[in-house]
Amino acid sequence: MTFSALSHLECPKCGQTHDADQVIGLCPCGSPLLARYDVPAVTLTKDELAARPPDLWRYHELLPVRAPENVVTLGEGMTPLLPLPRYGREVGVERLLMKDEGLIPTGTFKARGAAVGVSRAYEVGVRRIAMPTNGNAGSSWAAYAARAGMAALISMPVAAPEICRREVKVVGAELHLVDGLIGDAAAFIREQEGYFDVSTLKEPYRIEGKKTMGLEIAEQLGWQLPDVILYPTGGGVGIIGIWKALVELRELGWIDGPLPRLVAVQSTGCAPIVQAYEKGLPESEPWPDAKTIAFGITVPKALGDFLVLQAIADTDGCAVAVDDETILAEQHHLARLEGAFICPEGAATFAAVRRLRESGWIRADDQVVALNTGLGLKYPETVPL
Amino acid sequence: MTFSALSHLECPKCGQTHDADQVIGLCPCGSPLLARYDVPAVTLTKDELAARPPDLWRYHELLPVRAPENVVTLGEGMTPLLPLPRYGREVGVERLLMKDEGLIPTGTFKARGAAVGVSRAYEVGVRRIAMPTNGNAGSSWAAYAARAGMAALISMPVAAPEICRREVKVVGAELHLVDGLIGDAAAFIREQEGYFDVSTLKEPYRIEGKKTMGLEIAEQLGWQLPDVILYPTGGGVGIIGIWKALVELRELGWIDGPLPRLVAVQSTGCAPIVQAYEKGLPESEPWPDAKTIAFGITVPKALGDFLVLQAIADTDGCAVAVDDETILAEQHHLARLEGAFICPEGAATFAAVRRLRESGWIRADDQVVALNTGLGLKYPETVPL
């Protein structure tokens, strides 16, 4: 049995296929590429899986790293899936669960994409990476690059959280600040020579790491899927990844029936996906003057927007925007009721749960998973002294 | 089979036994109490254990909570045990591992004691807790109290990390600041009425939570013990807990041979255990003008000091102090080589590894586990902007 069933890369826009065992970014047509696996060749059983260590590499057959010695790990994965009985009762969703991505290296779900992305980049020969970031992704990729012994150049807006700057510096990555938004940081990175650009969806494997959130939710629920999964959406890699995971599990024959309705949650300060969803468009339009306390989802125009909208459409999901005041109120409310100090992006999903229950879109007996994408600790200013 | 094999409480000083199913703090003789189990009655097998979810409640037979419905959890436990090949080679300890307690609710190992302590307090009828803290323990106990629906009063020095104040406030606990050290906070707590005092070792079950670090290390190494375990020592509950865990596993027949040599690591700014160890005393003397960047181990006189010294003596261990400058240098060095941003308390253990290797106390072929007790994220000022 081979460690990975990776077969090739495929363009979801033009359909072209590419050799996976090379350094490659986007499809020549401009679209992100998706990793494809020889799923029928996977002989893994659920029992064999259950006996493996509790990290995301337990799913190695469905991950792109071909040789175990190329795995770059800090112990990421198998984060808790916690029932929230008090909060759930209050919002009228008794079967509410939180997938808590705070309990992962660097304190946010970005670690998943970084672990798999860095491992695979290393495997195909990359030794220097560069990326623009709103903060958390940069922290994670810098950490995994250090773990791999790779050089990293990280560019972020001056307004990005201070803690992320410190995280990048402490692991010895090079930090470049721009007076602007993530798009300006991206423009700087494009000018640099000698680095592999690992911007969101510009390399094919970050999504494979994020995919493991979907694999874990399915495994943690005993391969019975929930009715709804809500995800705070900036670049949207996580929601695309969860969708991809579930489709692959269906192909593997481990799950059946309808997929969970996937919900993209945004802030009213930056809601291009919600706008496109409401207008029935296949892609989003750039959001002007993007600004929200949920810094991680300040992405005016995501490269994978069309895939996010497909994931929503394919699963009968939806997209909703909530305002910053509501996000902060929900963050504090959840902390008092359940003891969990989550990040604003995560709190946005809980605000969306409440809203969608009130509208009836979520039913009282639905089993609902809300993703908290990171630690509240990384956003100290959300709690006044 | 019963959920917990808890039998009774025992005083390690005067030997008196006490009924465990009551609200009880110290032994009337003034010593902390230890939980005792009916170990021969435990029929659990290693294979059964392996199939359980990856949190600390997998060891429920050796934990004090009698009924599963009283478990208060945020998903704590089974933190990574990471090889550190680059750093290990540099310090000359090839088989160096880090037990990373940053990947746990509230970001420090204090969550273990809080999860088990709050659960058991709830089970015996406590609904209001109070405690003094240097910061991290207060954050954890406040979070678990909120999760349990209990009231919490937390007192900490004004100089304690700001982030811990915010954590206490966000979960709705009452925060009281004192202009002094943890002893002054303790004096304030003793004056309060109507709360159960959950100060370090003043209740018997925090140590049971900390014990699970020892259980996990043994399980993660396939029930083969390492040669050395290093632990940053303030109140010392963790090192006592690890020792207790290993003794119980030996009684269970799951491990044999000599126990790992346990090392208590302190800062030169507050090193009462090291001083007592060097003088061959059975207890420590209060350390005057205690001050270190590793705030969590600023404990001038620990209630359980005699147990820490016993743990060291029983395992042929030792105690070492390292200075703040070395601690910070080691924290940054480890981050650059391995990508892990750890707390100063954790970094102290790595400084001790280097020192003890240089002196020959740690041998080149020893398997060594260094405990990182929490996230560097909670100490942002350790990395200049």
Interface probe, candidates B170, B174, B369, B381, chain A, greatest A C-beta count within 10 A? B170
For residue B222, what is the nearest residue in chain A, using CA coordinates? Answer: A53
In a domain, B172, yes or no: yes
pLDDT interval class at B1 (50, 70, 90): low
Rg for chain B, CA atoms, rounded: 19
Helix (H), strand (E), coil (C) string for A232-268: ECCCCHHHHHHHHHHHHHHHHCCCCCCCCEEEEEEEC
- Among chain B residues, CA nearest to A81: B75
Note whether B166 and B31 are same-domain residues: no
- A51 shares its domain with A117: no
What pLDDT digit, counting tens, does each position of A156-184 carry? 999 999 999 999 999 999 999 999 988 89
- Is the pLDDT score of A1 beyond 90? no
- What are phi and psi for residue B217, nearest 5 degrees? -55, -45
Query: Do B363 and B248 belong together in one domain?
Result: yes
pLDDT of residue B295: 87
Give pLDDT tens digits for B231-240.
999 999 999 9
CATH code, domain with A188: 3.40.50.1100
The verdict on residue A133 lying in a domain is yes
Query: Is A316:A277 a contact under the CB 8 Å cutoff?
Result: no
Q: Where are the alpha helices (DSSP H) in chain B?
A: 46-50, 85-91, 110-123, 136-148, 162-170, 182-191, 206-220, 237-252, 272-279, 305-314, 324-338, 344-358
Please state the domain count of chain B: 2
Percent of the residues in chain B that have a pLDDT greater than 70, as a whole number: 100
Give the model's pLDDT for residue B248: 98
Q: What is the CA radius of gyration of chain A?
A: 19
Domain assignment of residue A30, yes or no: yes
Q: Does residue B209 fall inside a structural domain?
A: yes
Q: Which residues of B touch A165 (CB under 8 A)?
A: 385
Same domain, A227 and A362: yes
Please check whether residue B374 is in contact with residue B343, taking contact to mean a CB–CB distance below 8 angstroms: yes
Task: Report pLDDT for A380.
Answer: 96
**Residues A38, A170: one domain?**
no
Six-digit token string for A157: 């807006």
pLDDT reported for residue B363:
98
Report whether A75 contacts B98 (CB < 8 A): no
For the purposes of burial, counting CB atoms within 10 Å of the CB of B25, is it exposed (0-12), middle (13-18) or buried (19 or more)?
Answer: middle
* pLDDT at B16 exceeding the cut of 70: yes
Which residue is it, tokens 């030794």? A127
Using an 8 Å Cβ cutoff, are B315 and B301 in contact?
A: no
Q: Is the same domain home to B250 and B231? A: yes
Both ends of chain B: CA-CA distance in Å?
55
The pLDDT score that the predictor gives to residue B258 is 96
Portion 17-76 of B in contact with A at CB < 8 A: 50-51, 54-55, 73-75
Q: Are B63 and B85 members of one domain?
A: no
Question: Is residue B57 located within the same domain as residue B199?
Answer: no
A232 and A86 within one domain: yes
Query: Which residue among B74, B169, B380 places its CB closest to the CB of A340?
Result: B74
Statement to judge: residues B54 and B95 lie in one domain? no
- Asked if A17 and A10 touch (Cβ cutoff 8 Å), the reply is yes
Tell me, what's the pLDDT at A129? 98
**In contact, B236 and B308? CB cutoff 8 Å:** yes
A77-83 average pLDDT score? 98
Assess whether pLDDT exceeds 70 at residue A97: yes
Do A177 and A271 belong to one domain?
A: no
The H-or-E segment that residue B263 falls in is strand B261-267
Residue B167 predicted with pLDDT over 80: yes
pLDDT tens-digit readout, B110-121 = 999 999 999 999
Backbone dihedral region of B52: left (phi > 0), alpha (psi from -120 to 50 degrees) or beta?
Answer: beta
- From A197, A224, A257, the end of a domain falls on A197
Question: Which of A50, A70, A90 delimits the end of a domain?
Answer: A70
- Chain A residue at shortest CA distance from B331: A170
Average pLDDT of chain B is 97
Does residue B239 fall inside a structural domain? yes
In angstroms, rounded to a whole number, what is the distance separating the alpha carbons of residues A20 and A24? 8
A143 → closest Cβ in B75, B78, B339: B339
A262 shares a domain with A143: no
Task: Tokens for A16, please give them.
Answer: 């072209």
The overall longest dimension of chain B from CA atoms, in Å, is 56
pLDDT at A301 > cutoff 90: yes
Mean residue pLDDT across chain A: 97
pLDDT tens for B191-241 read 999 999 999 999 999 999 999 999 999 999 999 999 999 999 999 999 999
Question: Measured between CA atoms, how close is A220 to chain B, in angstroms?
Answer: 9
3-class DSSP state for residue B79? coil
pLDDT at position A2 over 70: yes
Domain range for residue A156? 110-197
Reported as a single tens digit per residue, the pLDDT across A249-271 is 999 999 999 999 999 999 999 99
Cβ-based contacts of A331 with chain B (< 8 Å):
170
Residue A1 forms part of a structural domain: no
Tell me the C-alpha distance between A261 and B218, whole Å: 42
- B127 vs chain A: nearest CA distance in angstroms? 15
Strands B367-372 and B128-132: unpaired
How far apart, in whole angstroms, are the C-alpha atoms of residue B153 and residue A140? 35
Q: Which of B30, B51, B70 is the last residue of a domain?
A: B70
The answer to whether residue A82 neighbours chain B at the CB level (below 8 Å) is yes
Q: Which residues of B, range 201-260, sit inside 8 Å of A by Cβ?
A: none
pLDDT at A103: 98
Contacts of A296 (CB under 8 A, 6+ apart): A108, A134, A135, A136, A232, A234, A343, A345, A373, A374
- B356 near B94, Cβ under 8 Å? no
Residues contacting A357, CB < 8 A, separation 6+: A91, A92, A93, A364
Residues B60, B52 contacting (CB under 8 angstroms): no
B1 part of a folded domain: no
| Domain annotation covers residue A50 | yes
What secondary structure letter does DSSP report for B1? -
Quote the pLDDT of residue A304.
95
What is the mean pLDDT of the segment spanning B142-169? 97
Residues 6+ apart with CB under 8 A from A309: A273, A276, A277, A281, A282, A283, A284
Report the SS3 class of residue A157.
strand
